[in-house]
Amino acid sequence: MKKLLGLWCLVSAALALLSASALAGTVSKHSFYSPVLQREMVYNLYVPDSYAAGSLRYPVMYMLHGNLGTEESWIEAGNMPATLEGLVAEGKVTEQLLVVPADPKFWWADGDEESMLTAFVEDLIPHIDANHRTLAERSGRAITGYSAGGFGTVNIVLQHPELFAVAAPLSPAVYAPVPPSDSSATRQDTFVSDGEFDAERWESRNWVSFIDDYKARGIVVPFYINSGDHDRFDIAYYATVFYQALREYQPRRVELRIFDGDHDFDAWGGSIGDAMQYMTAYLKSPQ
């Protein structure tokens, strides 16, 4: 009897695994020509299992990687497909598309060499809406990112609040007034002049230069902000400074979470589920 029970457990587990695999979404790599960048722009796209069989349009979550990351970072190290599918199965988030673009060098900012922020807004988002079944409206878009991708998330949204329903910068590198000396920002071309870190360049591309205009526009984007309390770059402090600046303007539409963690994928992969649950409240469901 024990042998039969053990065999049945193994068979049940195998069937459950096959069922989960059958319901799993797919990740595919894409590229298109960006007129702003004058080169190909690469991104990974996750679609749920229901996408291929139906005609629904889906909300989109844009996911920005950190310094020297790639379009694979959120998919592989972040384990995003499994995280999303688990939350959907539990009824905690809605089905959605994930778009993970690549910007390994320029911190999602407009610099002298490339205008990645402009390319993201003017090329990538229209391309996604034109080529995939999206809810092509503000209420159908969310954006998140870790570290340099959190920096990008903050600064894209503050300059273009009309495009996003909600944002979640994770361990965002929103240093003010300047980054610590061991931050990779001090060595990136976007923030360097004549071979040296340029504090004015940094400030002109950081949130402190955009928040007044954001407030003046009157379009409120809810923010979920977090950081590990042992972040090696002290981002818990800088994230709190940014949170407070937003809280004074939109006290009911900004959240801050400080948790036990450092500046790594244990932190980002471990907290993205909470961030997604916050964001899903502001996103339209597939329709």
Burial profile 126-157: b = 16 or more Cβ within 10 angstroms, e = fewer:
ebbbeebbbbeebebbbbbbbbbbbbbbbbbb
Domains, the chain, in order of start with CATH, read: 25-280 (3.40.50.1820)
- How much is the pTM? 0.91
pLDDT for 23 equals 54
Model pLDDT for residues 23-59, shown as the tens digit of each residue: 589 999 999 999 999 999 999 999 999 999 889 999 9
Q: Are 106 and 250 in contact (CB under 8 A)?
A: no
Chain segment 255-279, per-residue pLDDT in tens: 999 999 999 999 999 999 999 999 9
Q: Are strands 223-228 and 60-64 parallel, antiparallel or unpaired?
A: unpaired
Tokens of 49: 């299992």
